[in-house]
Amino acid sequence: MALLDRIPGVENLYIGGLFVLRRKVALKEANITHVLSVLRLPLDERLFSGFEHMVVEVDDVDDENLLEHFPATNRFIQNGLNSGGGVLVHCAMGKSRSATCVIAYLMQKHHISPSEALLQIRQARPLCEPNEGFMSQLEIFHETRTPDNVEDDPAYQRWLYRREIELGRACGQAPEADKIRFEDEHANGSAAVDFDIRCRKCRRPLATSQYLIPHAPKQVEEHGPISSSTATKATCAHYFVDPLSWMRPELEQGKLDGRLECPKCRTNVGKYAWQGMQCSCGDWVVPGISLAKGRIDEVKSRTSGGLGGAGIRLPPASATRCSGQENL
Ligand SMILES: [Zn+2]
Ligand SMILES: [Zn+2]
């Protein structure tokens, strides 16, 4: 390990800590023309005279959003390399933040996973180790196939929403209204819908199976991944769901928890708790947005494609009968 280490597999890309900036000779020997600073410090501008310079102001903590900067930092690195010069990516230690940005670049350039990219960097600089939060952001970047505008990607938006929930939990607050992701407002229409969930009293559609949050009691979990359809065991008195647009008036109030009323008949159909909620099966779900099974009916979806013949689906008549019985 040197003051600055060349990334194996990429000509002219270097990683280092803060100190290297004062080593003019080393920078000159490496033909550095572009410097990407990934840190939140007052930097002496004179250190960067003569370089193309980009600053991404983040701290080395798990919940910093470095992900939103990857497309721009990747472009900066690529432009520097294209210009024929050398690119230095640095943070304070050359360990976490700078390594994260270099990994994001290698992923996009070589179509490799975050851990493969990390191994590649560590050949030159063994101390490189993005913090846990940055590693999971790199996983999201991988999952979204390293897009040029990550903001538009649903996986990114869901991550942003989850992050808001976690930040809120840490300080005992509800998420800000404009940060809540109402999943049905982003539906792409291609998701498989097994069944609809309707208000038992007035039949108003409340959710479809695609918005269920899978969860399961611990002993079931050990037998493998739980799909949303098997996560609704008889022991569970609730369905957990994503925020849905009919919940807007309630969820946007900024309360930590509350009740959910059917928007049509005002019957209490569920409840929510941003901090999380324990299902009757024992599992905790965060955030907990639940519909009580005793207040809703499941209706086989007519658009269901995966379940075979029409005989499996409940005809509308029988669905009506179910709700009729409930009124007795
Ligand atoms: Zn449960
Ligand atoms: Zn209703």
Q: How far is the C-alpha of 89 from the C-alpha of 33, rounded, in Å?
A: 11
Q: How far is the C-alpha of 271 from the C-alpha of 257, rounded, in Å?
A: 7
Rounded distance from Cα 259 to ligand 1 centre (Å): 18
SS3 114: helix
Catalytic-residue membership of 91:
yes
Domain residues for 39?
Answer: 4-147
What is the pLDDT averaged over residues 275-287?
Answer: 93
Model confidence at 311, pLDDT cuts 50, 70, 90, reads very low
Question: Are residues 52 and 121 in contact, defined by beta-carbon separation less than 8 angstroms?
Answer: no
Which residues is 38 bridged to in the sheet?
56
Which residues is 196 bridged to in the sheet?
208, 299
Q: How far is the C-alpha of 308 from the C-alpha of 143, rounded, in Å?
A: 31
Ligand nearest to the CA of 235: 1
204 and 258 in a single domain? The answer is yes
Rounded distance from Cα 108 to ligand 2 centre (Å): 49
30 and 94 in a single domain? The answer is yes
Q: How far is the C-alpha of 75 from the C-alpha of 264, rounded, in Å?
A: 50
Rounded distance from Cα 286 to ligand 1 centre (Å): 12
Sign of dihedral through CA atoms 150, 153, 155, 157? Answer: positive
In a domain, 230, yes or no: no
Sequence letter at residue 106: L
C-alpha separations of 301 from 79, 80, 297 in Å: 51, 54, 12
- pTM metric for this prediction: 0.76
180 and 107 in a single domain? The answer is no
Ligand nearest to the CA of 206: 2
Judged on CB neighbours under 10 Å (0-12, 13-18, 19+), 317 is exposed
In a domain, 161, yes or no: yes
48 and 81 in a single domain? The answer is yes
For the stretch 250-274, pLDDT in tens is: 999 999 999 999 999 999 999 999 9
What is the average pLDDT score of the chain?
Answer: 87
Q: How far is the C-alpha of 146 from the C-alpha of 74, rounded, in Å?
A: 10
131 and 158 in a single domain? The answer is no
179 and 272 in a single domain? The answer is yes
Q: Which of 91, 101, 199, 262 is catalytic?
A: 91
50 and 142 in a single domain? The answer is yes
Q: How far is the C-alpha of 72 from the C-alpha of 88, rounded, in Å?
A: 15
Domain final residue pick, 147, 165, 194? 147
Strand positions, DSSP E, 99-149:
none
Ligand nearest to the CA of 204: 2
129 and 166 in a single domain? The answer is no
Write down the pLDDT at residue 41. Answer: 85
242 and 206 in a single domain? The answer is yes
Q: How far is the C-alpha of 102 from the C-alpha of 120, rounded, in Å?
A: 10
Q: How many domains does the chain have?
A: 2
For the stretch 193-236, pLDDT in tens is: 889 999 999 999 999 999 999 987 665 444 555 544 444 456 89
In a domain, 52, yes or no: yes
The CATH code of the domain that includes 251 is 2.170.150
Rounded distance from Cα 209 to ligand 2 centre (Å): 18
Write down the pLDDT at residue 328. Answer: 37
For the stretch 138-168, pLDDT in tens is: 999 999 888 888 888 888 999 999 999 999 9
φ, ψ of residue 241 in degrees (nearest 5): -135, 165
Model confidence at 112, pLDDT cuts 50, 70, 90, reads very high
* % of the chain surpassing 70 pLDDT: 85
For the stretch 4-50, pLDDT in tens is: 999 999 999 999 999 999 999 999 999 999 999 999 988 898 999 99
In a domain, 314, yes or no: no
